[in-house]
Amino acid sequence: MIRLAIVQEPPVFLDRDKTIERAVQLVQDAANQGARLIVFSEAFIPGYPAWIWRLKPGGDWGLSEQLHGRLLGNAVQLGSDQLRPLLEVAKEMQVTIVCGIDERDEDTSRATLYNSVITISPQGTVQNCHRKLMPTNPERMVWGFGDASGMKVIDTPVGRVGSLVCWENYMPLARYALFAQGIDIYIAPTYDSGDRWIRTLQHIAREGGCWVLGAGNVLRTSDLPADFPEVERLYPDKEEWINSGDSVVISPAGEIVAGPLRKETGLLIADINVSDVNAARRSLDIVGHYARPDIFSLQVNTRPQRPVSFNE
């Protein structure tokens, strides 16, 4: 049995360094309760740009620029030492961490953001970084399009782990690309919530014969910083749950075994048996004995995006 923890806590919103400090403490808390895999939500560092669902694209242009500037300034640059405290605590506590981040491009303009999820090993290294392929609706005014170079299933001490972010999980071919790599623990950091979303995750678990972890994003008006601009207009209800979370653990049979954690904060802890995937795939293995490769095939372009060259 493997113990895992899904962290359903708000970040220190729009403050990268303080959010990382909070994440370190949460990792320690989870590890001290025996968790070997610790999962954070979509864009946890430094927070999901929830304002995009309330601003008007034209009329709120100035406010959008102001908030985007704060997000950009607090986004994570993977080539820097910004994540060092999180890497060090992974090594200290000997845990695997999966965490959503706002990632700032370092290769070209240095001004493009990506909705990324990173996997940190117990050796304190970033094993993988997956950038969300297709930002959803107004998210396209915040994040660039990712590629499939990080769409990998990673061997970890807790099993073979992979991740798709939020509505990427509605992309059948993206799911299949993970299933085809022998995934044991399928992680879905998300801003979505509610019963319809949970039913989607249950379907994915049954479809892939794998454990599914829905890492929900939780945020209240009271979690916004005191200097958040025009908060009275955008979030007039001081008691509002901007997002209710709904973190959940689902077995390879599609059954909920922990959660959903709704409108509350905390650690969702569960003990799972990774070998349950073998029993689930005995009758239905959609990339194995239930596949028809003579009829269907999937081709994935795993090459990373190349910067534009003026010489070409």
Q: Where in the sequence numbering do the catalytic residues fall?
A: 42
| Cis amide leading into 10 (omega within 30) | no
Distance from C-alpha of 4 to C-alpha of 272, rounded to nearest angstrom: 8
Q: Which two tokens stand for residue 188?
A: 């879905």
DSSP the chain: -EEEEEEE----TT-HHHHHHHHHHHHHHHHHTT-SEEE--TTTBT---GGGGTS-TTTTHHHHHHHHHHHHHTSB-TTSSTTHHHHHHHHHHT-EEEEEEEEEP-SSSS--EEEEEEEE-TTS-EEEEEE-SS--GGGGGTB----STT---EEETTEEEEE--GGGGG-HHHHHHHHTTT-SEEEEEES--SHHHHHHHHHHHHHHTSEEEEEE-EEEGGGS-TT-TTHHHH---TT-EEEEEEEEEE-TTS-EEEEEEES--EEEEEEE-TTHHHHHHHH--TTTTT--TTT-------PPPPPP-TT-
Instruction: Return the sign of the alpha-carbon dihedral for residues 287, 95, 35, 198.
Output: negative
For the purposes of burial, counting CB atoms within 10 Å of the CB of 277, is it exposed (0-12), middle (13-18) or buried (19 or more)?
buried
